[in-house]
């Protein structure tokens, strides 16, 4: 069965594909199970939690596997851009990287725009994607059921526009997992513009570092009045290191469950040379944040705000008021809650963590592109 699977994979990839032994090594290393040229299981999927899991996010599971074996960016067979195009045209797929690309740099000239029903899985190759053009490195615009996992991402050169990952225009059922994301242009990850449907997103197990603005969540105007939040986002077991602010920054019609994250932040110098602000979780415009089991490790001995609620307009209805509830945050001083009675419960259970030492070990195990 394995040889038949690999033979079919070679036929799909064409005459420029690597030999079948390399394809077999890629699957063993990435701990994915294929059958008849399709990925039917992946060990790291068992770590999915939060809103993406509740929504039934599968990405490219059950769909054809496409192998990347070239480190250049172009339309030739074997490039990442070509694999994404083929998977999108097929209605979905699983994009893997050959072992010979282990930590190789792929310079991305223009935004990568996966279609729906796609997983992009760096696996053991842990490719280093470097955005060198305008716009975001990955732009998930209006798509559904997409997984970005186990890659290294950064941006270099060009104007300060775009992020390493932008999720926008109603993109739904999105899981960003076990990546190393650092030194991007505008932000590390932005989730914005619901445009009429709820966006359900999980960002988990990522190592986020060396940047001023980490994560923006903007649900638009109106708070949660008149219906469910426009954005439902789980931020689970991520490590923030040498970041400045937005851990995350949440505004408008959004509910964010930030749980079991390690925060090591301090003021960062921006590209133009000015110093940015420094704060942990900031909410405003009617956003709701449930913050649980945060591991706060202030840097350089600075006393920094772990949570902050921006002032609401005078006289707004309770449904449009910003609220933050903090439970079990560790750090040098208590983290304040704001109107905690307005913050609802998350509709799922997360693996528990008690005590900062245990939480630190769990984050170390669950974070980064080397997760198997």
Number of domains in the chain: 2
pLDDT of residue 26: 52
Is the same domain home to 120 and 228? no
Give residue-wise pLDDT tens across range 148-195.
999 999 999 877 889 999 999 999 999 999 999 999 999 999 999 998
Q: Contact 161/186 with Cβ under 8 angstroms?
A: yes
Is the same domain home to 86 and 230? no
Token pair recorded at residue 129 = 């994607």
Is the same domain home to 248 and 164? no
Q: Is the pLDDT of residue 68 over 80?
A: yes
Is the same domain home to 228 and 328? yes
pLDDT of residue 31: 78
Q: Is the pLDDT of residue 121 over 80?
A: yes
In a domain, 195, yes or no: no
pTM confidence score: 0.92
CA angle 279, 284, 286 (to 5 degrees): 150
Is the same domain home to 121 and 167? yes
> Which CATH number goes with the domain that contains 211?
2.160.20.10
Q: Is the dihedral of CA 38, 149, 250, 141 positive or negative?
A: negative
pLDDT of residue 65: 97
Is the same domain home to 145 and 262? no
Query: Which residue, 155, 185, 215, sits at the end of a domain?
Result: 185
Domain of residue 56, residue span: 1-185
To the nearest whole number, what is the mean pLDDT of the chain? 89
Residue found by looking up tokens 């040379």 in the block: 273
Q: Is the pLDDT of residue 269 over 80?
A: no
- Comparing 17-26, 31-40, 235-244, 349-358, the range with the smallest average pLDDT is 17-26
Is the same domain home to 236 and 181? no
Is the same domain home to 96 and 159? yes
pLDDT of residue 278: 85
Query: Which residue, 130, 156, 185, sits at the end of a domain?
Result: 185
In a domain, 360, yes or no: yes
Is the same domain home to 171 and 234? no
- The fraction of the chain above a pLDDT of 70, given in percent, is 90
Is the same domain home to 163 and 215? no
In a domain, 198, yes or no: no
Rounded Cα distance between 229 and 332, Å, is 32
Reported in sequence order, the residue ranges of 78-214 that DSSP labels E, i.e. its strands, are 93-97, 105-108, 118-121, 128-131, 138-141, 144-149, 152-155, 165-168, 172-177, 180-182, 189-192, 199-204, 207-213
Q: Is the pLDDT of residue 199 over 90?
A: yes
In a domain, 191, yes or no: no
CA angle 191, 192, 193 (to 5 degrees): 150
Is the same domain home to 277 and 168? no
pLDDT of residue 115: 98
Task: Assign 30 a pLDDT band (cuts: 50, 70, 90).
Answer: low
- Alpha helix segments (H runs only) across the chain: 2-13, 20-30, 50-54, 80-89, 356-366
Q: Is the pLDDT of residue 272 over 80?
A: no
In a domain, 196, yes or no: no
Is the same domain home to 89 and 162? yes
- Report the DSSP beta bridge partners of residue 211: 243
267 vs 34, higher pLDDT: 34
The DSSP letter of residue 37 is: T
CA angle 132, 201, 138 (to 5 degrees): 15
């Amino acid at each position: 069965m394995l040889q038949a699977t690999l033979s079919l994979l070679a036929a799909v990839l064409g005459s420029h594909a690597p030999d079948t032994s390399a394809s077999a090594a890629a699957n063993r290393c990435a701990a994915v199970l294929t059958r008849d040229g399709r990925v039917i299981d992946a060990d790291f999927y068992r770590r999915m939690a939060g809103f993406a899991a509740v929504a039934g996010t599968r990405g490219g599971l059950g769909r054809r596997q496409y192998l990347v074996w070239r480190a250049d960016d172009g339309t030739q067979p074997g490039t990442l851009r070509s694999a994404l195009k083929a998977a999108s045209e097929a209605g979905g797929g699983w994009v893997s990287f050959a072992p010979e690309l282990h930590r190789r740099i792929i310079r991305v000239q223009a935004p990568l725009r996966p279609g729906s029903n796609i997983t992009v899985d760096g696996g053991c190759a842990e490719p280093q994607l470097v955005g060198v053009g305008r716009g975001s490195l990955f732009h998930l615009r209006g798509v559904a059921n997409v997984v970005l996992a186990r890659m290294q991402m950064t941006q270099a050169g060009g104007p300060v526009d775009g992020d390493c990952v932008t999720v926008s225009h109603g993109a739904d059922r999105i899981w960003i997992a076990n990546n190393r994301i650092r030194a991007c242009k505008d932000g590390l990850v932005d989730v914005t513009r619901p445009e009429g449907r709820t966006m359900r997103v999980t960002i988990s197990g990522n190592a986020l570092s060396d940047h001023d603005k980490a994560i923006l969540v903007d649900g638009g105007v109106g708070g949660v009045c008149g219906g469910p939040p426009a954005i439902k986002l789980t931020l689970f077991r991520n490590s923030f290191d040498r970041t400045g602010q937005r851990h995350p920054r949440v505004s408008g019609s959004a509910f964010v469950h930030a749980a079991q994250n390690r925060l090591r932040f301090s003021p960062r110098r921006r590209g133009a040379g000015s110093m940015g602000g420094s704060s942990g979780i900031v909410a405003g415009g009617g956003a709701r944040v449930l913050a649980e089991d945060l591991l706060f490790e202030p840097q350089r001995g600075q006393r920094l705000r772990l949570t902050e609620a921006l002032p609401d307009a005078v006289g707004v209805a309770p449904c449009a008021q910003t609220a933050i509830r903090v439970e079990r945050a560790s750090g040098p001083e208590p983290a304040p809650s704001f109107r905690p009675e307005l913050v609802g419960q998350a509709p799922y259970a997360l693996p528990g963590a008690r005590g900062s030492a245990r939480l630190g070990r769990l984050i170390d195990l669950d974070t980064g592109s080397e997760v198997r």
